[in-house]
């Protein structure tokens, strides 16, 4: 799994006034929790954009006033109108304990149903998995070659070594949809 480094500044103030003051300085208030004491800190808005506005998932190395902490991003809160980042929650990664993270799905192959006119549809762009940090892949590769028209791959059909899926097994990952062209090809046969 890829890592990204972010510089952070520890903050001591709590409450509305303190967080508004942090936001006025162009920083985003954050919290790091799990596996020890909670740490409140602030990071620059520009340094967090490569982490948020990307389809990839990262392990974050937070440098909080010289102390490096490994974490995963849990939740981002946005302003309802301006789309400004208001707050970010990070969860500490602990050695020897599994971590839950969303990993993007990448489809490979050319589906049989697409060859006769069906349309391949990706339903789940990211799946939530749990596993040790060293076993986490950058993306989950799903082979769609055997899919025929009307068939679907569900989370329950997938298996990756060292990973446990937290997304429900009945969630559709991708499917080959019926189109007019594929219906005409089926009637011709």
In terms of Cα–Cα distance, which of 173, 172, 176, 174 is closest to 119?
176
* pLDDT grade for 189, boundaries at 50, 70 and 90: low
Could you tell me the pLDDT band of residue 7, with boundaries at 50, 70 and 90? very high
User: So what's the pLDDT on residue 86?
Assistant: 92
> Would you mind telling me the total number of residues written for the chain in this entry?
189
According to the model, what pLDDT value does residue 16 have? 85
Task: Name the average pLDDT for the chain.
Answer: 90
Percent residues over pLDDT 90 in the chain: 59
Specify whether the CB–CB gap between 155 and 122 falls below 8 A.
no
């Amino acid at each position: 799994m890829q890592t990204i480094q972010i510089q952070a500044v520890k903050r001591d103030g709590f409450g509305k006034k303190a967080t508004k003051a942090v936001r006025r300085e162009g920083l985003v208030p954050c919290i790091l929790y799990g596996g020890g004491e909670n740490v409140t800190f602030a990071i620059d808005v520009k340094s967090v954009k490569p982490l948020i506005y990307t389809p990839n998932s990262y392990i974050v190395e937070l440098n909080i006033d010289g102390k490096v902490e490994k974490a995963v991003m849990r939740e981002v809160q946005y302003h309802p109108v301006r789309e400004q980042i208001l707050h970010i929650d990070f969860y500490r990664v602990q050695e020897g304990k599994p971590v839950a993270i969303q990993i993007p799905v990448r489809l490979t192959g050319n589906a049989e149903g697409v060859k006769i006119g069906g349309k391949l549809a990706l339903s789940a762009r990211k799946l939530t998995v749990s596993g040790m940090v060293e076993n986490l892949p950058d993306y989950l590769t799903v082979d769609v070659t055997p899919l025929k028209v009307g068939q679907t791959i569900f989370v329950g059909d997938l298996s990756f070594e060292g990973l446990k899926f937290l997304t429900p097994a009945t969630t559709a990952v991708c499917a080959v949809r019926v189109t007019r062209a594929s219906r005409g090809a089926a009637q011709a046969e």
